[in-house]
Amino acid sequence: MSTTNDKTGAPARRDLANAIRALAMDAVQQANSGHPGMPMGMADIAEVLWNDFLRHNPANPGWTNRDRFVLSNGHGSMLLYAVLHLTGYPLSMDDLRHFRQLGSPTAGHPERSLAHGIETTTGPLGQGLANAVGMALAEKVLAAHFNQPGFPVVDHHTYVFLGDGCLMEGISHEACSLAGTLRLGKLICFYDHNGISIDGHVEGWFADDTAARFRAYGWQVIADVDGHDPQAIRAAVLAARQNTEAPTLICCRTIIGFGAPNLQGTEATHGSPLGAAEVAAARERLGWSAPPFVIPEPIRAGWDARDRGERQEAEWRDLCARYAAAHPELAREFGRRMRGELPASWAATAADALARAAADQSAKASRKASLDVLNVIGPALPELIGGSADLTGSNLTLHAASVPITAASAAGNYIHYGVREFGMSAMLNGLNLHGGFIAYGGTFLVFSDYARNALRMAALMKLGSIFVLTHDSIGLGEDGPTHQPVEHVASLQLIPNMRVWRPCDTAETAVAWCDAVERRDGPTSLVLSRQNLPAQPRSAGQLAAIRRGGYVLRDAANPDIILMASGSEVALAMAAAEQLAAAGCRARVVSMPCVPLFAAQDAAWQEAVLPAAVTRRIAIEAGVPDLWQRFVGPAGRVLGMHSFGESAPAKALFEHFGLTADHVLRLARELGAVAAASGK
């Protein structure tokens, strides 16, 4: 390599950084696809952060007290893969050679894989940053829950790389504004201020005074740092760590594609291979003589973090052992929380919540039923951390044991997120990614659109985030069509691995909550009503069957017709079944609070609930009809919404849109169910 910079003969810092540049150029070239510019531009920053500051153990990527590192500008994934490989994570050179290939852990954008040291899935710009805000908040709250004088068992930083794109995205405002307000002092972000995005030089579309913007949020800003000067970067990180009262943004001036002699500083390096000639020229310019995918031994040794990581973790384990001796109960609880195990009492808590819900025969909004359940499970689940995007009184997310988290006190379990649905949802994901928490947050169902990509990312990452989505339909009434979801339940169902519950009463709401808490490999959307819903009578067997997602709520031997519904429309189906019975028609009512769960049941259950022989079927939902078609079949009908709602009292709206028992009766007659019954 070109130089050594000290008497020890250790490689110069620039040479260490060039290992990232070479790997990025070569992997992108090999894949003929990818983004070399950012890794080449941020390589010097990564070298300083990873070699001088980051506390992590490549042999145990999931070490509880590791620093978290988030690559929010995820298109620069090769930077992350390179440093993980170089520092000693189980990410092999072969994996780097297979960048962007099927089955390789080196996907186009980083995909969460703790085994490889990838903390979160990034790529949708800005969202990694918001995840990181959630992680930094998790650290602060956990520290408040568990640290004792002389025992800082929770004590780590959260570092983020981000670019112009992340800062242009609105979610960066939501998350960073709250991070400043909550004084997340151990969050340290590096802004890759290279002046370039895909369309070229950003002045024409991004001329903010970013430093002033972040100072206004209450951040410490270290402006104008030369992102290619290790000493300047080091000094900035030291200053960032000094300030524990405010998050820090380090604005680093960098050159995108640094080292590519003809293309650096231009958008040409952003997202395409440099080409063989330019790669060769860059090697020359950088003084990097090793062939592709070869790391000279001194460079490899300069990066290897395994010994340091083992030592750091061992020190922490020693601290934990002393903590366990001094505070045995806290230590046990800390271990449980970080392993993600529910308390031993959970089964009893869940049974209690369900028993109370089943005994409650009062008519109740399911959002209120949800609060009742939270009042039972909340005090028994210290890992449950809630919040709302400024709709606490509407979402009913604040339970009796909720304690708000403030800038001054992190020893709570409730976050007033403010009007920031997307930021909140991505922060929920960050809280869940960090570990130690089961995070939920509320907003109106209709605003799940604002948050949608974070819900999608929760599903993609298999996170147990819980989204409390109230005001589920035209049933919210007077606020009108801007607030009345029509397509949202169906559209959430379309997200793979998203479990949507739309309970019809208190008992189903209790089951939905318990299922959401227990489900740790995917998110749940709890869709809840504003208006009161009557309690439905159930046998013990029916109560147990709620967990199947779809079950017979009102039976009739040899049914002439099946009515099926979810949420508020179950009561309507029950009323219609009564009226049909009066006309001699035997109607079965199927409650379907969780379609994906029902769809996952075995064929025998599905046949028992929806016998193929009964082809007269009507589904009722105050939403778009499309997704019910699969259950009603070609001969069935769906009574749903075909337009946006209107502003009026709920009762008037159900009538206006034909969501009535009379209408169900009419359809049943059209299907011949009543005639068939009288012919028996």
Ligand X SMILES: Cc1ncc(C[n+]2csc(CCOP(=O)(O)OP(=O)(O)O)c2C)c(N)n1
- Note the residues at the interface with ligand X (CB under 6 A): 37-38, 73, 75, 123-125, 163-165, 169, 192, 194, 196-198, 256, 270
At residue 562, the 3 state secondary structure works out as strand
Of 172 and 397, nearer to ligand X (C-beta) is 172
CA 235 to chain centre: 34
- Cα separation, 33 vs 54, whole angstroms: 30
CA 155 to chain centre: 23
Of 46 and 196, nearer to ligand X (C-beta) is 196
CA proximity to 189, closest of 217, 155, 157 = 157
- Cα separation, 20 vs 11, whole angstroms: 14
CB of 221 to ligand X, least distance (A): 18
Of 38 and 526, nearer to ligand X (C-beta) is 38
Count the Cβ atoms, other than its own, within 10 Å of residue 7: 6
CB of 256 to ligand X, least distance (A): 5
**Residue 563 in contact with residue 588, Cβ under 8 Å?**
yes
CB of 27 to ligand X, least distance (A): 16
The answer for residues whose C-beta is within 8 angstroms of residue 504's C-beta and 6 or more apart is: 366, 533, 536, 565, 566, 567, 568, 569, 570, 571, 591, 593
Residue recorded with tokens 């852990």:
105
- Cα separation, 30 vs 25, whole angstroms: 9
Of 213 and 519, nearer to ligand X (C-beta) is 213
359: burial class by Cβ within 10 Å (0-12, 13-18, 19+)?
exposed
**Residue 279 in contact with residue 25, Cβ under 8 Å?**
yes
195: burial class by Cβ within 10 Å (0-12, 13-18, 19+)?
middle
∠ at Cα 174 (158, 438), nearest 5°? 60
Q: Which residue is nearest to ligand X (CB)?
A: 163
CA pseudo-torsion sign 558, 564, 568, 572: negative
Of 38 and 221, nearer to ligand X (C-beta) is 38
Q: Which of 421, 508, 569, 621 is catalytic?
A: 421
**Residue 425 in contact with residue 467, Cβ under 8 Å?**
yes
Of 42 and 474, nearer to ligand X (C-beta) is 42
Of 192 and 383, nearer to ligand X (C-beta) is 192
Of 122 and 524, nearer to ligand X (C-beta) is 122
Count the Cβ atoms, other than its own, within 10 Å of residue 68: 24
Here the tokens at position 456 are 């999608």
- Cα separation, 589 vs 352, whole angstroms: 27
CB of 277 to ligand X, least distance (A): 22
CB of 163 to ligand X, least distance (A): 3
Of 119 and 169, nearer to ligand X (C-beta) is 169
CA proximity to 566, closest of 589, 586, 543 = 589
DSSP 194-244: -SEETTEEGGGT----HHHHHHHTT-EEEEEEETT-HHHHHHHHHHHHH--
Of 257 and 645, nearer to ligand X (C-beta) is 257
CB of 169 to ligand X, least distance (A): 6
CB of 268 to ligand X, least distance (A): 11
CB of 122 to ligand X, least distance (A): 9
Of 337 and 456, nearer to ligand X (C-beta) is 456
- Cα separation, 153 vs 144, whole angstroms: 11
Instruction: Please state the length of the chain.
Output: 680
The answer for residues whose C-beta is within 8 angstroms of residue 366's C-beta and 6 or more apart is: 472, 503, 504, 505, 506, 508, 509, 528, 529, 533, 567
Here the tokens at position 245 are 């009262």
DSSP 75-110: GGHHHHHHHHHHHT-S--HHHHHTTT-TT-S--SS-
CB of 447 to ligand X, least distance (A): 18
Here the tokens at position 297 are 């031994």
Residues β-bridged to residue 388: 416, 442
Based on the residue annotation, tell me whether 508 is a catalytic residue of this protein.
no
Count the Cβ atoms, other than its own, within 10 Å of residue 232: 18
How many alpha carbons fall within 13 Å on the CB side of residue 242?
Answer: 9
Of 76 and 485, nearer to ligand X (C-beta) is 76
At residue 439, the 3 state secondary structure works out as strand
At residue 524, the 3 state secondary structure works out as strand
Residues serving a catalytic function are: 421
